[in-house]
């Protein structure tokens, strides 16, 4: 079914994004997998092509396109290459950017955003803690007042881009007596004394993303590195979760669609019992169902993107797109592995890697169970 939300500018941008992926990402996937990270050269090239500053005003080095569909297009093209790469770039240009642009002071924007857009700085967001998971209000990392700033102590885990981030937006508790209303955001910079990275985490999937633990021990942060309003960090995070979740939905369905397309070509060629595997009635019906489900989900996500672009996507509707797209993605990729037979379980096949990579999407950006809880509450249940 033809998608109708894009115009000629979006199509031209997609061609540029695909060219970048084909030139700078695809040939180097084995390197990224081996090193468990995306090297700086790929980031610098993305910055040079203007992909990292889509939400950043021109005076700070971005393009300020003011149209979320461009974010969507870039995410889709990168997701076709790897769900892992899409998560790394997405955290930077789609999740972190609004924090800096919306909450940063003029001095902070001048200091950080030009290199953020060029790829010289890579950003991460430090919310999740070892004991917290989706419960952002239960943070244990603390920031205590000191002369001219704050002293930060605590740790974060499962941090995408954590292995190489130059800027980390860290949520810390500044007033324990206020609960969720006593959290503040800070920007921790590479090289600060007391900032340490743990090992690259050994994940089931998304091998090429540099996911790490982060540690803060008596780390002094000047007042100049407070991001947003004091004690309003939880509200700042909640206000920006809708974009994170619609962005996750965009990547989820693009990833599933690409692997399903590749699987359809595979079952056309693969022979068994004298005929193509795809011609067996069960497989034919299964694929018909998967294609329909993917297209229905794509239409739903596209509608969410348009709503977000028009500033009318609610937190609840964003939660719906996030959990449903993750559910469909995993259902589709599990079927794709089955359709490949034994080869689907081999790491050399993209479908096997994609299957592993997708599993986390039902957990991160708020688990699917949390998404359903939000939806249920909205229904008065």
- Token representation of residue 266: 């595979």
Q: State the DSSP code for 138.
A: G
CA 107 to chain centre: 27
pTM of the predicted model, to two decimals? Answer: 0.95
> Taking the alpha carbons of 112, 141, 36, 192 in that order, is the dihedral positive or negative?
positive
At residue 57, the 3 state secondary structure works out as coil
List, for residues 200-242, the tens digit of each pLDDT value: 999 999 999 999 999 999 999 999 999 999 999 999 999 999 9
CA dihedral (247, 249, 251, 252) in degrees, to 10, reads 160
Q: Specify the fold of 234-379.
A: Butyryl-CoA Dehydrogenase, subunit A; domain 3 (1.20.140)
Instruction: Return the active site residues.
Output: 244
Which 3 state secondary structure label does DSSP give 340? helix
**pLDDT averaged over the chain?**
96
In 4-31, which positions are buried (b, 16+ CB within 10 angstroms) versus exposed (e)?
A: eeeeeeeeebbeebbebbeebbeebbee
- Which of 121-125, 138-142, 363-367 has maximum average pLDDT? 121-125
Q: Describe the crossing of helices 106-118 and 40-48 by its angle, rounded to 10 degrees.
A: 110
Helix (H) or strand (E) holding 241: helix 233-269
* C-alpha to C-alpha distance for 233 and 241, rounded to whole angstroms: 12
CATH superfamily, domain 125-230, is Butyryl-CoA Dehydrogenase, subunit A, domain 2 (2.40.110.10)
Phi and psi at residue 341, in whole multiples of 5°?
65, -145
pLDDT > 90? residue 134? no
pLDDT value for 17: 98
For 230-286, the pLDDT digits (tens) are 999 999 999 999 999 999 999 999 999 999 999 999 999 999 999 999 999 999 999
Dihedral sign for Cα 55, 56, 61, 65, please: positive
Domain with CATH 1.20.140.10 in the chain: 234-379
DSSP structure class, residue 376: H
Q: What is the pLDDT of residue 173?
A: 97
Mean pLDDT of 352-381: 97
Question: CATH 1.10.540.10: does it fit domain 8-121?
Answer: yes
In three-state secondary structure terms, 163 is: coil
All CATH 2.40.110.10 domain ranges of the chain, comma separated, are: 125-230
User: Span 339-356, mean pLDDT?
Assistant: 96
Q: pLDDT tens-digit profile of 60-119? A: 999 988 999 999 999 999 999 999 999 999 999 999 999 999 999 999 999 999 999 999
CB atoms inside a 10 Å sphere around CB 291? 16
HSE-CB at 264 with a 13 A cutoff on CA atoms is 15
Q: 137 near 182, Cβ under 8 Å?
A: no
Average pLDDT over residues 191-202: 95
365 phi/psi in degrees, rounded to 5: 60, 30
To 10 degrees, what angle do helices 315-340 and 281-309 make? 160
C-alpha–C-alpha distance, residues 376 and 373, integer Å = 5
> Quick one: 242 exposed, middle or buried, by C-beta within 10 A (0-12, 13-18, 19+)?
buried
Neighbours of 114 (CB within 10 A): 18
Strand pairing category for 149-160 and 142-146: antiparallel
Does pLDDT of 132 surpass 80?
no
User: Which pLDDT value is given to residue 133?
Assistant: 66
Cα-trace Rg, the chain? 21
The Cα–Cα gap between 172 and 141 comes to 5
Listing DSSP states for 271-294 in one string gives EETTEEGGGSHHHHHHHHHHHHHH
Ranges for all domains in the chain classified under CATH 1.10.540.10: 8-121
pLDDT of residue 131: 80
Q: Give strand pairing partners of 144.
A: 151
- Distance between CA atoms of 243 and 174, rounded to whole angstroms? 26
Structure confidence at residue 138 (pLDDT): 80
């Amino acid at each position: 079914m033809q998608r109708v939300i894009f115009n000629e500018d979006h199509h031209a941008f997609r061609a540029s994004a695909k060219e970048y992926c084909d030139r700078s990402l695809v040939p180097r996937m084995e390197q990224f997998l081996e090193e468990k990270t995306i090297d700086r050269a790929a980031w610098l090239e993305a910055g040079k092509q203007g992909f990292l500053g889509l939400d950043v005003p021109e005076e700070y080095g971005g393009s300020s396109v003011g149209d979320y569909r461009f974010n969507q297009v870039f995410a889709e093209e990168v997701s076709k290459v790897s769900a892992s790469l899409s998560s790394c770039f997405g955290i930077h240009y789609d999740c972190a950017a609004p924090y800096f642009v919306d909450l940063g002071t003029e001095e902070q924007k001048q200091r950080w955003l030009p290199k953020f857009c060029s790829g010289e700085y890579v950003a991460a967001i430090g919310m999740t803690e070892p004991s917290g998971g989706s419960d952002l209000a239960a943070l244990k990392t603390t920031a205590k007042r000191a002369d001219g700033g704050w002293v930060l102590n605590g740790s974060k885990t499962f941090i995408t881009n954590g292995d190489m981030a130059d800027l980390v937006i860290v949520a810390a508790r500044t007033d324990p007596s206020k609960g969720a209303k006593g959290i503040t955001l800070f920007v921790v910079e590479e090289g600060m004394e007391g900032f340490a990275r743990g090992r690259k985490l050994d994940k089931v999937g998304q091998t090429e993303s540099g996911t790490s633990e982060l540690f803060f021990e008596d780390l002094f942060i000047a007042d100049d590195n407070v991001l947003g309003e004091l004690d309003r960090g939880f509200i700042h995070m909640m206000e920006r979760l809708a974009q994170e979740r619609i962005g996750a939905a965009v990547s989820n369905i693009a990833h599933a669609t690409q692997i399903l397309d590749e699987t359809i070509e595979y079952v056309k060629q693969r022979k068994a019992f004298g005929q193509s595997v795809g011609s067996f009635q069960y497989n034919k019906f299964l694929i018909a169902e998967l294609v329909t489900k993917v297209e229905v989900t794509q239409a739903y996500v596209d509608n969410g993107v348009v709503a977000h672009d028009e500033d009318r996507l609610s937190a609840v509707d964003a939660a719906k797109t996030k959990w449903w797209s993750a559910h469909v993605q995993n259902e589709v990729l599990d079927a794709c592995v089955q359709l490949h037979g034994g080869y689907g379980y081999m790491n050399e096949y993209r479908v096997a890697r994609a299957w592993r990579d997708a599993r986390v999407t039902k957990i991160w950006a708020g688990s699917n169970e949390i998404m359903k809880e939000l939806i249920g509450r909205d229904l008065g249940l």
